[in-house]
Amino acid sequence: MADQKASTSIEAVESGLAAQGYIASRQIATAVYLSQQIEKPILVEGPAGVGKTELAKAIAAWRGMKMIRLQCYEGLDEAKALYEWKYAKQLLYTQILKDKLGEVLGGAQTLHAALAQLHDFGDVFFSKEFVEPRPLLQALEQPGGCVLLIDEIDKSDAEFESLLLEILSDFQVTIPELGTVSAITPPTVILTSNSERDLGDALKRRCLHLHIGFPEQRLEERIVESRVPGISQTLRRQMVGFIHEVRSLDLKKLPSVSETIDWARVLVLLQAAELDTDIVKDTLNVLLKYEADIEAASPQVTSFIAKAARSNVFG
């Protein structure tokens, strides 16, 4: 059972995630540990590219569970998130059964008896057979549990949040025609948000609130080390130091961990031994995604490299 692999301590979480290549800070590990222990979803907030979605993937991989992902967007509704009636199938069955109607009603002596028979018949159409489970319902129906990732919840409408409340607090959903479906094994739920919209209190109340910011230098070095194995220690130190300098600038979009990893890969590809002005200027577009940001950062490149190199000596 997956539960045997359940997080027994914060350290176990940390090493478990590390084995999947996810270097978690202590806060993250504590959050994952607590969410197992007190069965609460985790709401992860933070800038894009710091590993919010990765966290869910890493947990799933570590605990050997299936990951079900629900990508949120404006206009997402229960038919796409929760369940939908297979109306085409219902329609088809009605057509086929029309011919059988005579047979079914044949035995009925009175109108009342016929109606009663029709009644039983109608209920068939709103049975489990005709329900198409969408991600949320699928997550509840996994016998071995799963990791349910509700990605970018801030992109969805406020009504959708209300739809989630029942799942988040009790791990169950109520389908009006069928009744309540409870989770076989409560899924591990991770919600992510870029804070595009303020989420409702009711939703926040049901979750542990984890904020993942840009990692500290040491942590980021370890992340690069685990993700880009081919990189030398000197270069790793320098590039992470450089990125930390870049993050102090007032940019439209600050480079996040995913950009750090991309950049590290590029530098390895280019067989750079250490940072120099030319190579940084050539590859700055990997790190920064706006022309204006690149222009703002370019004049600083030399001094940043120098700073990164200096901190390298003392670090």
Binding site for other proteins (CB under 8 A): 10, 26-27, 30-31, 33-34, 37-38, 40, 45, 85, 87, 90-91, 94-95, 98, 122, 125-126, 157-159, 198, 201, 204-205, 208-211
Smallest gap from Cβ 201 to other proteins, in A, equals: 7
Q: Over 155-219, what HEC string results?
A: HCCHHHHHHHHHHHHHCEEEECCCEEEECCCCCEEEEEECCCCCCCHHHHHCCEEEECCCCCHHH
- Token pair for 234: 């000197």
| Of 34, 56, 23, the residue nearest 148 (C-alpha) | 56
Number of H helices, E strands in the chain: 15, 9
Smallest gap from Cβ 225 to other proteins, in A, equals: 23
Smallest gap from Cβ 119 to other proteins, in A, equals: 11
For other proteins, give the closer residue by CB, 94 or 172.
94
Helices 257-269 and 217-227: angle between axes, nearest 10 degrees: 50
For other proteins, give the closer residue by CB, 37 or 234.
37
Smallest gap from Cβ 160 to other proteins, in A, equals: 11
Smallest gap from Cβ 37 to other proteins, in A, equals: 4
For other proteins, give the closer residue by CB, 126 or 155.
126
Q: How far apart are CA 158 and CA 76, in angstroms?
A: 10
For other proteins, give the closer residue by CB, 47 or 300.
47
For other proteins, give the closer residue by CB, 124 or 270.
124
